């Protein structure tokens, strides 16, 4: 049996070494792309979409990502039709990140798939892991929210500004606070 590459381990959610040469090359490619992309603030959304399709795994029709935008690799990110990500979005895509159609994301939102061992010996060894983030369709995420590893946000949900989302959010729910909790339906 062939041993998995560090990239295969990373995408499978297993502990991996982020300094692996293949991963380092992918990260360098993404950093070079970000320099170009983040210089396009005055460009049209159509011009920026051409650049987005160079790096991201999937970019839906009429998707808009306002620069500056930051990611680890880019290729593990999928954004659906009509998605809007405002300024200063950060997506740490050591695991897949999927954002459904018509989702609106406020400025300064972070999607953080990267995770680190709780065991100090493993942290000292320099391994990390990641868990995917999935955001459904027609979701609204307020500015400054943090979506943590492994979270799924259901269709039509609302995440309040500044929320720290540590667990799954059901479809149609509104979550606010730190840690994010559901608002009672009124």
The catalytic residues are: 116
Q: Which residues of 106-119 are buried (b: 16+ CB within 10 A; e: fewer)?
A: bebbbbbbbbeeee
Closest CA to 139 of 185, 177, 172: 172
31-60 as b/e, with b when 16 or more CB fall inside 10 Å? Answer: eebbeebeebeeeeeeebbebbeebbbebb
CB-CB contact of 136 with 153 (8 Å):
yes
Handedness of CA 11, 16, 18, 20 (dihedral sign): negative
Identify which of 117, 104, 85 has the alpha carbon closest to the alpha carbon of residue 153.
Answer: 104
45, 35 contact by CB (below 8 A): no
């Amino acid at each position: 049996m062939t041993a998995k590459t560090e990239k295969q381990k990373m995408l499978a959610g297993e502990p991996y070494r982020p300094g692996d040469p293949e991963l380092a090359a992918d990260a360098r490619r993404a950093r070079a792309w970000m320099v170009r992309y983040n210089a396009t603030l005055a460009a049209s959304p159509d011009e920026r979409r051409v650049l987005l399709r160079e790096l991201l795994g999937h970019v839906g029709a009429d998707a808009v990502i306002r620069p500056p935008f930051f990611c680890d690799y880019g290729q593990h990110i999928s954004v659906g039709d009509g998605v809007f990500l405002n300024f200063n979005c950060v997506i740490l895509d050591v695991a897949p990140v999927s954002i459904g159609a018509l989702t609106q994301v406020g400025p300064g939102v972070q999607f953080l798939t990267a995770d680190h061992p709780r065991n100090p010996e493993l942290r000292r060894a320099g391994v990390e892991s990641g868990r995917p983030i999935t955001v459904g369709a027609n979701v609204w995420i307020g500015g400054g929210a943090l979506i943590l590893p492994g979270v799924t946000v259901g269709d039509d949900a609302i995440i309040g500004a500044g929320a720290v989302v540590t667990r799954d959010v059901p479809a149609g729910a509104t979550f606010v606070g730190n840690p994010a909790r559901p608002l009672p339906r009124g």
